[in-house]
Amino acid sequence: MLNESENDPKSPAAYESVSVRPVSWYLEKHGLEMGDSNYSFGRKQLFIAATISYCVSSIAIARASNVSVIIIFRFISGLASAVPTNIVAGSAEDLFHAGHRIWMIYAWALTTNVGACVGPIFGTLVAESLGWRWIFYLSTIITGLWSVLLLFIKESRPSQLLSKAVAEVCKESGDSTLRTRNPDHAPDFRTFAQVALIRPVRLVCTEPIVFICSILTAVVYGLLYLFTGALPIVYKSYGFTPGQASLSFVPLTLGIFSGIFTRFYDHRIYKRRQQKSQELEPEDKLTGFAIGAPLLAIGLWWFAWTIPPQVQGVPWIVSMLPLLLVGYATNEFGCTLTGYIADSYTVFASSAFASTAFLRAICCAGFPLFAGRMFTALTANEASSILAAVASVFCVAPVVLLKYGKKIRERSPFAKYSLEQYRHNEVDRDAVLDDDSTHLHFTNMPFHTKLTKALGIQLPIVQGGMQWVGYAELASAVSNAGGLGILTALTQPTPEDLRKEIQRCRTMTKKPFGVNITLLPSINPPDYGAYAQVVIDEGIKIVETAGNSPGPVIKMLKAVDTIIIHKCTTIRHAESAIKLGVDFLSIDGFECAGHVGETDITNFILLSRARQSLKVPFIASGGFADGQGLAAALSLGAEGINMGTRFMCTVEAPIHKNIKDEIVKASEVDTQLVLRRWKNTSRLYKNKVTAEAVKIEQESKTGEFAEVAPYVSGKRGREVFINGDPDYGVWTAGQVIGLIHDIPTCDELCKRIEKEAAETLSKAASLYQPSSKL
């Protein structure tokens, strides 16, 4: 029971008697998983509501006339502060990619921990000089200002943005059937309760990563709050006043700031991975945790045995030095493990983080309750030794996560589900309506496939390596548009000419491009090895191979870690290529231009078979010219598409405009198969020369290739592209010519394909509304 003087908040006794209990009530409520409601309501609304609630609670406490009011409103302020704390990791995941999240999560952890350290200093000084009520008056002023500023922020939750944008499309177009694939949708209170309350509890009980991170961060964060009661006791023995004792948090604060050096190292690792077109794994950012865990144990053991009463005569500064290590470790635990959760659970990071925040709040609320008694009953040395022993056990955790973290994530159904939803909702966050249409802008929406990640490209679109077409003008334009441009090696007369073309292409683009090396049966074959050596010498890291017996060339290229994309027309050939060590397969359906194989299997079947049988990622080739085709290929299991004929009909393609106009006029039946008799079937544009070649092929009694050779000469095809006469010789074209109706720039074409694919995938996803797995 509070006595009369304690019940008067104007008296020092009142402030002292409730200085721990309201904080603990505040922190316990702070741990409620209210942050998960952001999935249904979005981030912005909850940020604003929480900040206003905290502001109102602060003024109520400052004006309170009895302790009961203080406790009640501290409870409410704890509820309000739970929201931004729980959803900040999700906001970071929404707004920043893996590299930028290194800094954003660090900034969040830094301000949180510095606040916990500076708070006791600030609170003590304000209470001593102005009275304890001014702590809450200042809180009211600060949070009131933030409430106004938050009105101007934008919503960041991808599913909320997409739902809003689609609603605008429906309104403008009058089509009310369009839906988004929204995993956040909560049609009733029961579903909302499962998302906001049950899912975080399940995560901490069923997800090893969430459990480990929650326990570690809870105890280490609780340590800061334990110090609010413990450090004044320790330094009182040195003769410090309460104000002087609060300055023991200064070395903790300095230690927290020292983590910036670890962030520079993390960023360096990220840049290295980016340069090598390698994906940054969540475990790659655990360096600070691996350093911080042993430093925490060292710091606490050092502190424990340099303080009174069992150690006398040691200057007080000696016991403050280890607090630098403790401060560094505290921030690294929060920073790296919060980032680890954000990277592991992507769009559902707030669910995992709510679980972490709940356990953390229990420790932060509970530790101050027994800190004073622990450090007086056991002595400061023994109490600190217990903390050091616990920290020593924690040193095992970095080893476990670094060695087994990836395997744990891969076995987690919810982590996989999170990644799936992340990819489905990864759209342009600034999506708006066109002024003159009802379509969404998806111009900044990146595609995340194995192809884009491995090659370091924005769009999963590869330009086909076309003879007499694959020059620097076209290859650089495709790469600059976000795809992968390809130079055709054998278009160049000699290996040295290829070298010059590669160097010329580099002056036209700074983005990745590749080289095509096609090995064809010939009486006098070119020196493929010499062409491959030029590729190696010039540092080209992406090569498309095709044709017969590519083994020796592939072996040369793989020796320097070149990424190989090999073209195949059958699953049998693809399996042989896998044995050679190729990285990707380009599966060519019967619709394709050029060499189509002899099995006549179209892409709809061939891609499905590839998905069933192949252990190496593949892209789809043949019959692709638009975004609907890209969406279909991705749906069938491909990691991207290869387009040849479509890129021939672009502004940058180095062929005569008459040929481009001929393609625009053509239909899907204007191609012809030649050389079937000699099992070297090729799909060519149907013209007078191909008609004569097919006639000779069908009527020949000798079956000699020499009879048709003059008609299918590649040199005559080259002249077609130069002089613009479509009937001068044979030239390749796929059945996709029936889908080509204009001559855009490569940039215009790629943007159009990206937009069409995004809209197609979004519409397809809207046909099915999955229920949450947890």
* pLDDT value for 25: 43
pLDDT value at position 354? 74
Cβ contact 199:347 at 8 Å: no
Domains of the chain, residue spans = 21-164+185-425, 450-665+742-767, 671-732
Residue 232: Cβ-neighbour burial (10 angstroms; 0-12, 13-18, 19+):
buried
How many angstroms separate the CA atoms of 267 and 244, rounded? 38
The CA-based diameter of the chain, rounded to the nearest angstrom, is 120
| 94 phi/psi in degrees, rounded to 5 | -60, -45
Contact by Cβ (8 Å): 553, 545: yes
Distance (Å, rounded) from C-alpha 76 to C-alpha 568? Answer: 65
Fold adopted by 450-665+742-767: TIM Barrel (3.20.20)
- Give the pLDDT of residue 435: 38
3-state secondary structure of 469: coil
Q: Closest Cα to residue 339, out of 83, 110, 94, 102? A: 102
φ, ψ of residue 656 to 5 degrees: the values are -60, 145
Which 8-state DSSP code applies to residue 340? Answer: H
Output helix, strand, coil percentages for the chain, rounded to the nearest 5: 65, 5, 30
Q: Residues 456, 280: contact at Cβ < 8 Å?
A: no
Residue among 140, 153, 118 nearest 42 (CA): 153
Query: Phi-psi region for residue 679, left (φ > 0), alpha (ψ -120 to 50) or beta?
Result: left
CATH topology of domain 21-164+185-425: Growth Hormone; Chain: A; (1.20.1250)
Could you give the 3-state DSSP secondary structure of residue 238?
A: coil
Cβ density class 480-497: b for 16+ within 10 Å, e for less: bbbbbbbbbbbbbeebee
Q: What is the pLDDT of residue 619?
A: 98
Q: Residue 577's pLDDT is what?
A: 95
Write the Ramachandran bin of 315: left for phi over 0, alpha for psi from -120 to 50, otherwise beta: beta
pLDDT recorded at residue 183? 53
Indicate the SS3 state at residue 591: coil
Strand-pair partners of 671: 685
Q: Which residues of the chain fall short of a pLDDT of 50?
A: 1-18, 20-39, 427-445, 772-774
Give the model's pLDDT for residue 99.
Answer: 63
- Tokens representing 229 are 């009661």
- List the one residue out of 610, 619, 584, 624 whose CA is nearest residue 277: 584
Q: Is-contact 601 590, C-beta < 8 A?
A: yes
Q: How far apart (Å, rounded) are the C-alpha atoms in residues 230 and 326?
A: 14
- What are the pLDDT digits (tens) for 587-597? 999 999 998 99
Residue closest to 180 by CA, chosen among 757, 766, 756, 755: 766
Identical fold, 21-164+185-425 and 450-665+742-767: no
Q: Is 433 helix (H, G, I), strand (E, B) or coil?
A: strand
Tokens 């044709």 belong to: 547
CA dist., res. 288 & res. 333, Å (int): 8
Rounded Cα distance between 691 and 159, Å, is: 55
Give Cβ neighbours of residue 273 (< 8 Å, ≥ 6 apart): 279, 280, 284
**DSSP notation for 181-207:** --TT---SHHHHHIIIIIHHHHHHHH-
Q: What angle do CA 22, 25, 26 make, to 5 degrees?
A: 85
